[in-house]
Amino acid sequence: MRTVKVQGGLGNQFFCLGFANTVARLTGETVALDLASFGADRYGHHFDLGPLAERLEMPLVRRPVLSSRAATAVMRRVALPGYVSDRPPPSDRNAIARAGRYFNGYWQDEAWLDPAFRDIARDFLLAQAGPGPCRGVVIHCRTYREELRPDRRGVPDAAWFARCLDRLDHLGVDTGDIALISDYPTLALARIGDVGRPIRTVTGGTAWTDMGLLLRARYLVLTNSTFSWWGGWCGDAAITLYPAKGRLFHYAAPASRFTIVE
């Protein structure tokens, strides 16, 4: 049996689970999910994908030694057979899957995901979200206000949001109906600035209902957030705008269906 460490918030959990699904498909073996990191998660995250893991027949285990920060730091410097740490997408993912027994990373790239996992994730997310409205333009802005280090709080600036909406206008999209989803809406609105259009903040929902709005939106403007990423990858949007990496610290590689706005 192989094991994939799961960590982070909902978006990162999906990346880890999606990667585990890829390893299972490539090797034909059972892949367990190590949840030990949630016992010491500094942001208070909990594992949210238990029903999906059960559906994919992935056992849940806890291996605190292998998943610890100390082990992570050591293993990234010392080659240990079977221990695979986070790395750029491979030219041959078959090789890395077969060589690894324990995988520790975030795997934030479409190259790690089996294409069939998109429908699996989408069906699960919509079931969790329940019925909901279809909005025209939806902006998702993660603020990273909770980050202690200033260099990790970076998000696109007001000029970037203006360029995104101008691009949608140029394509004939009606930008008069804009909804904003954010962890801190007041701060997000301040960062977006005056775009010359009304923006309605969506409040009072859950992570699941927020994700449902992203999935059903006709057009998406996404920031550098894994939550954003999954809403865009699994969603129905005809156009999904996504920032270039630049100096952004938190950044999942764009999916092929995204349009990059510099």
Residue 180 is predicted with a pLDDT of 98
Collect all residues with Cβ–Cβ distance below 8 Å to 86 and sequence separation of at least 6. 104, 105, 106, 107
Residue 136 is predicted with a pLDDT of 96
Tokens encoding 28: 């034909």
Tell which residue, 128, 143, 130, has the closest CA to residue 51.
128
Residue 90 is predicted with a pLDDT of 66
Residue 68 is predicted with a pLDDT of 78
For residues 104 and 66, give the distance between their C-alpha atoms in angstroms, rounded to a whole number.
9
Secondary structure, 3-state, the chain = CEEEECCCCHHHHHHHHHHHHHHHHHHCCCEEEECHHHHHCCCCCCCCCHHHHHHCCCCEECCHHHHCHHHHHHHCCCCCCCEEECCCCCCCHHHHHHHCCEEECCCCCHHHCCCCHHHHHHHHHHHHHCCCCCCCEEEEECCCCCCCCHHHCCCCCHHHHHHHHHHHHHCCCCCCCEEEEECCHHHHHHHHCCCCCCEEECCCCCHHHHHHHHHHCCEEEECCCHHHHHHHHHCCCCEEEEECCCCCCCCCCCCCCCEEEC
Residue 78 is predicted with a pLDDT of 73
Q: Positive or negative CA dihedral for 105, 254, 15, 103?
A: negative
pLDDT digits (tens, 9 = 90+) for 118-164: 999 999 999 999 999 999 999 999 999 999 899 999 999 999 999 99
Secondary structure, 3-state, 214-261 = HHHCCEEEECCCHHHHHHHHHCCCCEEEEECCCCCCCCCCCCCCCEEE
Tens-binned pLDDT, residue by residue, of the chain (262 aa): 999 999 999 999 999 999 999 999 999 999 999 999 997 777 788 999 999 999 999 999 999 887 777 777 777 777 678 888 866 666 678 888 888 999 998 999 999 999 999 999 999 999 999 999 999 999 999 999 999 899 999 999 999 999 999 999 999 999 998 999 999 999 999 999 999 999 999 998 999 999 999 999 999 999 999 999 999 999 999 999 999 999 999 999 999 999 999 9
For residues 14 and 20, give the distance between their C-alpha atoms in angstroms, rounded to a whole number.
10
Collect all residues with Cβ–Cβ distance below 8 Å to 14 and sequence separation of at least 6. 49, 121, 226, 230
Tokens encoding 261: 């706005």
Residue 89 is predicted with a pLDDT of 64
Tokens encoding 65: 């030694």
